[in-house]
Amino acid sequence: MNEPTALVISAHAADFVWRCGGAVALHQSRGVKVTIVCLSYGERGESAKLWKEEGMTLDKVKAARRAEAEAAAAALGVEDIRFFDLGDYPLELDRAAKDKLVDVIREVQPRFILTHSKYDPYNTDHMYACQVTLEPHQTEQMGWKPDTFLDISEVWDRKRAAIECMQGQEHLWDYYTNVAENRGNHFRRNSGGQAGGRKATHAEGFQSIFPRTVDEL
């Protein structure tokens, strides 16, 4: 029997760490082979710290962002991470790039796909990544809200290690740590009430049709 697979489609090189690094580590640890696709490096809009270094160039920023993402993927236990290098702000996929993404989906045959929310007015690259991901699949989606909570307590140290690989966005480390802790509170409350719920120190939020708490997606 073939091993189960999953696919993460990330607009920029760090997005998969912040938003679903725990889910990636958890499923990897349970025998699901996760493939990560980074559509861009986030070299223009998400690398401010790198651009402040003397003598920095676009190619150097891309190389640094790639190294960070590869280190983060390794920290999460992922061996298969791919980079499309399509540019950012705006992120754009032509016909050839879309065909390439479809080829990856066909190759991986994922049990599930994780990507960005459909509505994100603060970052149109994220919305676009979702739109492109849904094109070969289902197009009827509502606005995203977290109503499925995944306990990632057992692999939080891996996600934090992956977060710290993102040197170019150090200002987000504590923010996404706080998000994970808040999601842990959501998990506890939705698994039986604040007093009687399951203990969870860290969690991630996803969207489903009905609110639920899960051990795996």
* 136: preceding bond cis by omega (within 30 degrees): no
What residue ranges in the chain does DSSP mark as E strands?
A: 5-10, 33-38, 80-83, 112-114, 148-151, 203-206, 212-214
Q: How far apart are CA 207 and CA 217, in angstroms?
A: 11
**Residues 116/108, Cβ–Cβ less than 8 Å:** no
Residue (of 35, 40, 129) closest to 76 by Cα position: 35
CA distances from 109 to 68, 72, 91, 113, 169 (A): 27, 23, 25, 10, 32
How crowded is residue 85: how many other Cβ atoms within 10 Å of its Cβ? 13
Cα three-residue angle 76-82-83, rounded to 5 degrees: 120
Residue-wise pLDDT tens digits, 24-42: 999 999 999 999 999 999 9
Q: How far apart are CA 11 and CA 73, in angstroms?
A: 15
Residue 196 predicted with pLDDT over 70: no
Instruction: Please give the pLDDT value at position 181.
Output: 97
Amino acid at 133: T
The residues that bridge with 36 in the sheet, in sequence order, are 8, 81
**Confidence label for 138 from pLDDT (cuts 50, 70 and 90):** very low
How crowded is residue 10: how many other Cβ atoms within 10 Å of its Cβ? 26
Residue 112 predicted with pLDDT over 80: yes
Instruction: Please give the pLDDT value at position 209.
Output: 59
**Confidence label for 140 from pLDDT (cuts 50, 70 and 90):** very low
Continuous segment of H or E residues that includes residue 175: helix 173-190
Residue-wise pLDDT tens digits, 61-107: 999 999 999 999 999 999 999 999 999 999 999 999 999 999 999 99
Burial class (CB in 10 A: 0-12, 13-18, 19+), 117: middle
Instruction: Please give the pLDDT value at position 135.
Output: 80
Say what the pTM is.
0.79
Which residues, at least 6 apart from 129, have a Cβ–Cβ distance to it below 8 Å? 9, 10, 11, 39, 91, 115, 116
What residue ranges in 59-168 does DSSP mark as E strands?
A: 80-83, 112-114, 148-151
**Confidence label for 124 from pLDDT (cuts 50, 70 and 90):** very high
